[in-house]
Chains A and B, each alone.
Chain A
């Protein structure tokens, strides 16, 4: 029975990779070329099994790169034969270049994945250890593929929809092929219309103003507070450093009714000022928590030296502590910016007038049956790109900030 384990494993590896790569490559072929394919998943699994068994039966020292390429070619031929020259369920006349590229990609991906899983294995009895290693290799490989697709697919759909027209999407929802020939102005028509007819220029500006002001106000409030909690001794210090985060657990939806009522009567509701009061109030506690943790880690001797030299406390904070805490300040700023930029509930409840909409509010206003969906998706892209670009640019800081104090949802 144990001797059969490696064969069962090989069958599984081959079949799974054959099926997975057929689905992925077939989908990509459809999305990119616009051809209506019907990927033969079962036959692809069979092809994968054949490839995997051939690989297993090969001597270990012969499993060179050259052999892999030959086996890849073999897999392509087998798939062609099994599917009667329609490797993706459609005749080779439609989109032949794309299909050829897809076939090559499929064959190579299958043989490389099989190699990654079965490297070092031979048709012989394997123990539990070797079996688990093989199993984990397979799970991890599939995990990579599935995770990447699941994460990317919504964003891909978002971007591609924004570049298509409603009619062509209705006709074939999987056709995300981009017709370069139509020219940039036609390709980016939704974006141009958003900025010319749907006021997205002012939404973008409003979002930027609100987010930047929120960051500044949050820092202005949280830095002294965090310093006091981290460095000064006063009654209630221990209590504060522990309980400040509890404030962060208060749900926004509980605050929204009273704030709506009070701000309505004070005339603050339908205004950006209202948002610029509410946003910092929700971010200050977590910013304070993150900063005080960082301040505590800084050497107190430097500050004492500054005090000895005749600096005031404020002078010490400004000239000694803050320069040392720049990475933490960057993390906190980015994190607060992200929260303010992405905030939806208060923007949605507070803003009524078109000219003070933030992006969140503006995109929601596109969600109606009268506005074509490529506009909605273009709006989503406009809202996403700045914050993602900022995130990628400063990823190191943001990741630090997220792990340091982030508890928010």
Chain B
């Protein structure tokens, strides 16, 4: 559009620009391809799978399996035995078509082919069975005379592997579609609980990490000896592998006899019995005669989330705070503003931009989080979020289609929040 309106550039420049464009595309091509193949492609494939009746077992496509034997085991020359092939369809529910068998027979046996589906040319056995129904088995028995040459050669009948062809329809590429997956997940009462838990986890985990990060940044904003060491230390939870810290927390919070935190609490006289932080769904309590349920395990995983990701917000907030000019504080000091007033009126307004960006990013990433809850509770005790549910449906219940359907919901919710954020986000910030 713009090109048409612009005055025509000299030919040389146009060629140069074209070359630059071509070079740029060439340099971006590898990135584009791998992102297409591993991120965007699977994203679309996930939608595809969510509409298909596919189970984990269907991934192994139906295929023929054969077993070849010479029975009884020949021991003398001239002995009459049976060459037996047993074929079956590996699948329990899908037929296979185009099934053929090709086998090179060993030296020194003479086989009488008594089946019209098979033919023997030289030492090559060729069979064509056409279709094999689900679970169908076939048996071929050929009378065989064994000569001394066979016994001497040492090459047994089963040493020459038969070559099989034929395959079933691949569930993933077929055109069977169903809405059952979505029907199933939306119909279950659990789904709405899971959605609610996801939102609680995301909102409180994000806010927790931000508040802790803000507080930690306040601590390290002034210079003092050992500040760099402390800064490095505060980043540990984020840098360490999730498996290590998650299992450390599991041991720390264990309600059994080896749990450190419960031992501390009991020693200090703070609690009577052990608290099952990760295993107990809720603690009932009453305030002013109204009874509430405190979601214990969910709170614990939210605390873990805030602990593990506060370093990130801490780092960003600290960087922003150090860039606020000290003149503003000096001026405020002259006007007699108290430290808290300075924080509210100078620091916080300066930090709003970075806090908003961090909230947005952390919100999306916390919503996407799978590992943390999976390792801490496995989604038990009222901590199952949508992402954990994807795993549960697809791999624990072995229903890939239902798992993909939940993943579609995850993506849809994410898109919804992204749109809201972009609508309300401040335009100038970047």
Interface of A toward B, CB cutoff 8 Å: 23, 27, 30, 36-39, 41, 128-129, 132-133, 135-136, 140, 143-144, 147-148, 150-155, 157-158, 161, 166, 169-170, 172-174, 220-222, 224-225, 227-229, 232-235, 237, 240, 247, 249-262, 264-265, 277-278, 280-282, 284-285, 288, 313, 338, 341-342, 344-345, 349, 359-360, 363-364, 367, 373, 376-377, 380-381, 383-384, 387-388, 391-392, 395, 398-399, 402-403, 406-409
Contacts and interface: CB of A to CB of B under 8 A. Distances in A.
Interface string B42-79: 11011011000010000111000000000000000000
Interface in B336-367: 336, 338-340, 361-362, 364-367
B34 A221 contact: yes
Nearest to A364: B243
B264 A258 contact: no
A373 B31 contact: no
B27 A406 contact: no
B324 interface: no
Tell me if B's interface is mostly helix, strand, loop or mixed.
Answer: helix
Contacts of A166: 258
Contact of B267 (A37, A342, A395): A37
A367 B247 contact: yes
A363 B244 contact: yes
B243 A363 contact: yes
A152 B27 contact: no
B420 interface: no
A409 B28 contact: no
A249 B418 contact: yes
A255 B410 CA distance: 11
B257 A225 contact: no
Nearest to B54: A261
Closest A-B pairs by Cβ, 9 of them: A409-B365, A281-B38, A251-B368, A258-B45, A380-B244, A224-B27, A258-B42, A232-B24, A234-B24
A407 B247 contact: no
B267 to A, nearest CB: 6
Given A247-B40, A257-B394, A360-B242, 11 more contacts: A143-B215, A143-B216, A154-B249, A232-B27, A247-B39, A254-B411, A255-B46, A257-B407, A260-B59, A363-B244, A381-B244
Nearest to A285: B35
A288 B31 contact: yes
A234 B46 contact: no
B267 A30 contact: yes
A342 B241 contact: yes
B248 A234 contact: no
A356 B408 CA distance: 31
Tell me if A's interface is mostly helix, strand, loop or mixed.
Answer: helix
B38 A174 contact: no
B387 A251 contact: yes
A140 B219 contact: yes
Nearest to B314: A147
Interface string B379-412: 0000000010011001100001001100110110
B21 interface: yes
Interface in B158-217: 170, 172, 215-216
Contacts of B17: 233
Contacts of B247: 158, 363, 367, 376-377, 380
A341 B243 CA distance: 11
A282 B46 CA distance: 17
28 contacts: A30-B267, A39-B267, A140-B218, A144-B219, A150-B307, A154-B249, A166-B258, A170-B258, A174-B263, A220-B30, A224-B31, A225-B27, A225-B31, A251-B387, A255-B42, A257-B404, A258-B49, A262-B42, A360-B242, A363-B241, A367-B247, A373-B251, A376-B247, A377-B251, A383-B243, A383-B244, A384-B240, A391-B232
Contacts of B390: 253-254, 256-257
Contacts of A228: 23-25, 27-28
Contacts of B369: 409
Contacts of B414: 249, 251
B59 A388 contact: no
Contacts of A154: 237, 245, 248-249, 252
